[in-house]
Structure 1
Amino acid sequence: MNDVFPEIPRMYTALAEWMACIVYISILKKQIRGWHLIAFSGGALLIQSAFLILTRDLPIVFWIPSMLVAVGLMFAFLYFSCDISPSEAGYFSIKAFVAAELVASLQWQVHFFYWRTENSGLLWEVLLLILIYGGAFLLIWLLEKRHIPAEGKLNIRQRELWSTVVIGAAVFGISNISFVTARTPFSGQYAQEILNIRTLVDLGGFAILYAYHIQINDLRIRRELAAMQNILNNQYVQYQQSKESIEIINYKYHDLKNQIIALRLEEDPEKRNSYLTQMEEEIKSFEAQNKTGNHVLDTLLASKNMSCIKNGITLTCVADGTLLKDMDVVDICTIFGNALDNAIEYEQQVKDKEKRLIHVSLFAQKGFLMIRFENYFEGDLKLEGDLPATTKEDTYYHGYGLKSIRYTVQKYDGVVNVEQKDNWFELKVLIPIKK
């Protein structure tokens, strides 16, 4: 090369990689917090700096392996700081590495432009470092924060991870090829040219990853909406089926009552009479339950109660269904159907059948409609955002029942809250009553 080209100080590179990780840690769901996170972050910076400084004078053949180890250290920093999967940690490690390459290259290009042949002075060099690193990473933080879900997780799949790895590898290879050899169509010949190539390629790579990230997030949102819409439709279909089944059952019970009357007139043994009286009382109790004043809610509760009886679950309900007169049928099915389905699914796992309990209450309180679902709960409730964490192996498709409840309740300017009270899980829905 015709120009003397000083290499970017390894300490600057380490600082850029560390700050890039900090950007993503700040917007992801954290696994460690407070002083533990501060201490762990300080240790990560020391390890990253020490490794890059110690590998500075290694032969060129060790350059790629050294960079892979540096990315591995970033992966470990992100994975142990945040409550994310290995795939998510890998995905954000690549994004952080490309962001670090961009910011470090940009800073050194500006530094080289102003102080190519003379000493910049430590003060000016530090001020430029603070200005560019601070401004660039703040901008990256603002851009990325807009496209991270409230729960701080994206549920990255293997296909999306490997796409990101390929993009990151291509960006790194093209942006740094001039440091290896000048004998390629993509290599620069002069220092300023090499820096231009590196910065522009890193900028293009970051833009590609950012656009890909937006696409992944949009697809995730569309999948969630489709899944919730499917749940809405399924709950309404279940309601229609339950309505038809319960109507048939009621006809059968009506016929059975007439048969009992006829049998009583024909013969009257004391034992038979006692048995028939018991049957009649059971029929009356069945007819008396779940008469809330709203036929949609009555049908849903009767259907879910049959499922509870089948699984040895005790379902009790105290509800004023007339309060739901202004709520759409599909929305009633969504709120009550999903909440009860979740409660029934959990109670089936409780070994002691005496503890398989679900209680539903619906009432007005201080100008608000209160809907409360309670079920016996063992263990400690873990939340992801404002929703319970899944206990299923498939974490990609989960929680849509509660999300659909929240989406439906927000249509009525209401809120949903979940919490644990001793051995009870409680889902509360609060909706303002319109006068």
Structure 2
Amino acid sequence: MTDYLPNIPRLYTALAEWSACIIYITLLRKSLIHWKLIIFSVVALIVQSLFLVLTKDLSIAFWIPCMIVAIGMMFILIYKSCDIDAKEAGYFSIRAFVAAEFVASLEWQVHTFFFKGEQNSFFLELITLIGIYGILFIIIWLLEKRHIPKIGKLNIRQSELWSTVFIGAAVFGISNLSFVTTKTPFSGQYAQEIFNIRTLVDLGGYSILYAYHIQLNELRVRHELKAVQNILQNQYAQYQQSKESIDLINYKYHDLKNQIIALKAEEDDEKRNAYLTKMENEIKSYEAQNRTGNQVLDTVLTTKNMYCIKNGIILTCVADGTLLSGMDVIDICTIFGNALDNAIEYEQKIEEGKRLIHVSVFAQKGFLMIRFENYYEGKLKLDGDLPATTKNDPLNHGYGLKSIRYAVQKYDGVVNVAQKDNWFELKILMPLLTNKGNNKIS
């Protein structure tokens, strides 16, 4: 270390690191709230401050290990306070550390420039510290707030975490190189020069990590949009195939009915007539089902019901399909197709006899209500306002419900999920639609 250059007080560093953590904790989804979060944060600040103050006189050999421990404390504060996994906590810990290094460096550079290392009033130094820390961390909070998802988590991958660690380590190493030795091409020779290097490198490091964060967000948005669009198209393609299949089945059933009529006219056997009458009634029952007043909805429901019958699932429906007359075909396929697919997928995991699904579509106080209910065992866990996926790759799953929400929001509607006793309930509420002819079948 250079002996002529006053270094940042360890207490200032601890306060900057703690404040940076708090910035991200306020933006992420929290596991600790209210007094638990306040108490844990205060304890973390005390521990962080004591550690850095007590280790300030150790030799240079312990400098890097102490910084690693300090980052570890920041990781624990973020990880325990927020409902995120370890990779994501590590990602935000590195970003918080680099932000803290920049804020602490800039504040101390301003401090030494104006106070020239002289003894000044404690009150004046405190005002300077609070003012600069406050302004900079507010700016950082405003910047970060724009690019943190509403659900408060990013699902950071391993490679993204290591990229962030590499950038953070490079920034820390270069910014503090002059404090270790001045005999390198990248070191400063004079106090002001060294201060400038540290502050500017830290600023550049934070900017790089911020740009990388924006890029990750944009990639995720594109990935999600592409996945949702694929689901929309797949549900519509399924509808088209189902429509063709059902049209063919209806044609065959119509022929069969005519054949039964002919057979009844030719045969006078009482038992034969009873059997044929039963067949005719079954055909009538088939023709009567899923007649909701909306051809698209009828097709989707009939297709899903046929699958349910094969898998021992009882699907019931009470729906006024005319209420969907102003909705686009693709949106009807998306909402009903994905909701029923999710319900069917779950029902197949439980024992037969409990496999129940009910769909209802009705008007309520000037609004359109669409409700899906299926028998549910266990406790519902939410990821934001949607159920958490139970699959191994959460980044590439869960788009069915997101596509439903995307379609519903086009009509100024909202999606709500809840568990009532042993029933999972998906409710969709939107203003009553007007018939715009959007659901015409091509």
TM range (shorter): over 0.9
Match for residue 206 of structure 1?
206
Match for residue 75 of structure 2?
75
Q: Residue 3 of structure 1: CA displacement?
A: 8.3
Question: 2:216 & 2:233 partners in 1: Cα distance?
Answer: 26
Match for residue 357 of structure 1?
356
Paired residues for 1:41-80 under 5 Å = 41-80=41-80
Q: Residue 113 of structure 1: CA displacement?
A: 0.8
Alignment partner of 1:430: what SS? strand
Paired residue type of 2:410: K
Question: 1:148 & 1:51 partners in 2: Cα distance?
Answer: 31
Match for residue 390 of structure 1?
389
Q: Residue 96 of structure 1: CA displacement?
A: 0.3
Question: 1:422 & 1:414 partners in 2: Cα distance?
Answer: 26
Change (3 A) 1:271 1:50: farther
CA contact (8 A) 1:318 1:362 kept: yes
Match for residue 86 of structure 2?
86
Match for residue 96 of structure 1?
96
Q: Residue 271 of structure 1: CA displacement?
A: 4.4
Match for residue 229 of structure 2?
229
CA contact (8 A) 1:416 1:430 kept: yes
Match for residue 281 of structure 1?
281
Q: Residue 269 of structure 1: CA displacement?
A: 4.6
Match for residue 178 of structure 2?
178
Paired residues for 1:18-57 under 5 Å = 18-57=18-57
CA contact (8 A) 2:17 2:74 kept: yes
User: 1:364-405 deviations in whole A, cap 9, x for unaligned?
Assistant: 222211111111122222222221111111111222111111
Q: How many residues align?
A: 434
Match for residue 416 of structure 1?
415
Paired residue type of 2:417: V
Q: Residue 66 of structure 1: CA displacement?
A: 1.4
Change (3 A) 1:52 1:270: farther
CA contact (8 A) 2:327 2:433 kept: no
Q: Residue 103 of structure 1: CA displacement?
A: 0.6
Moved over 6 A (4+): none
Q: Residue 290 of structure 1: CA displacement?
A: 0.3
Match for residue 107 of structure 2?
107
Question: 2:252 & 2:2 partners in 1: Cα distance?
Answer: 97
Question: 2:152 & 2:176 partners in 1: Cα distance?
Answer: 33
User: 1:330-358 deviations in whole A, cap 9, x for unaligned?
Assistant: 1111111111111111111222x222111
Question: 2:350 & 2:138 partners in 1: Cα distance?
Answer: 49
Indicate yes or no: 2:165 matched with 1:165.
yes
Q: Which range moved further: 20-29 or 392-401?
A: 392-401
Question: 2:272 & 2:212 partners in 1: Cα distance?
Answer: 75
Match for residue 374 of structure 1?
373
Question: 1:10 & 1:2 partners in 2: Cα distance?
Answer: 16
Change (3 A) 1:268 1:14: farther
Question: 1:256 & 1:18 partners in 2: Cα distance?
Answer: 77
Q: Residue 328 of structure 1: CA displacement?
A: 1.1
Give the root-mean-square deviation of aligned CA atoms. Answer: 1.7
TM-score norm. by structure 1 comes to 0.96
Change (3 A) 1:407 1:2: closer
Q: Residue 54 of structure 1: CA displacement?
A: 2.4
Identity over aligned pairs, percent = 74
Alignment partner of 2:41: what SS? helix
User: 1:95-136 deviations in whole A, cap 9, x for unaligned?
Assistant: 000001001111111111111231022111111111111111
Question: 1:45 & 1:403 partners in 2: Cα distance?
Answer: 39
Question: 1:325 & 1:31 partners in 2: Cα distance?
Answer: 44
Question: 2:89 & 2:161 partners in 1: Cα distance?
Answer: 9
Question: 1:312 & 1:51 partners in 2: Cα distance?
Answer: 63
Q: Residue 268 of structure 1: CA displacement?
A: 4.8
Paired residue type of 2:415: V
Question: 2:117 & 2:89 partners in 1: Cα distance?
Answer: 41
CA contact (8 A) 1:414 1:429 kept: yes
Question: 1:280 & 1:295 partners in 2: Cα distance?
Answer: 24
Indicate yes or no: 2:307 matched with 1:307.
yes
Alignment partner of 2:186: what SS? coil
Paired residues for 1:417-432 under 5 Å = 417-432=416-431
Paired residue type of 1:416: V
CA contact (8 A) 1:2 1:190 kept: no
Change (3 A) 1:254 1:317: same
Paired residue type of 2:23: V
Gaps of 5+ in 2: 435-442
CA contact (8 A) 2:368 2:433 kept: no
Question: 1:181 & 1:285 partners in 2: Cα distance?
Answer: 88
Question: 1:152 & 1:387 partners in 2: Cα distance?
Answer: 13
Q: Residue 179 of structure 1: CA displacement?
A: 0.9
User: 1:129-169 deviations in whole A, cap 9, x for unaligned?
Assistant: 11111111111111101101110011111221111111111
Change (3 A) 1:227 1:267: same
Question: 1:116 & 1:186 partners in 2: Cα distance?
Answer: 25
User: 1:396-417 deviations in whole A, cap 9, x for unaligned?
Assistant: 1222111111111111122222
Alignment partner of 1:223: what SS? helix
TM-score norm. by structure 2 comes to 0.94
Q: Residue 2 of structure 1: CA displacement?
A: 9.2
Match for residue 219 of structure 2?
219
Q: Residue 267 of structure 1: CA displacement?
A: 4.0
Paired residue type of 1:373: F
Question: 1:383 & 1:355 partners in 2: Cα distance?
Answer: 23
Question: 2:20 & 2:38 partners in 1: Cα distance?
Answer: 15
Q: Residue 291 of structure 1: CA displacement?
A: 0.3
Question: 1:41 & 1:192 partners in 2: Cα distance?
Answer: 35
Paired residue type of 1:27: L
CA contact (8 A) 1:3 1:191 kept: no
Paired residue type of 1:354: G
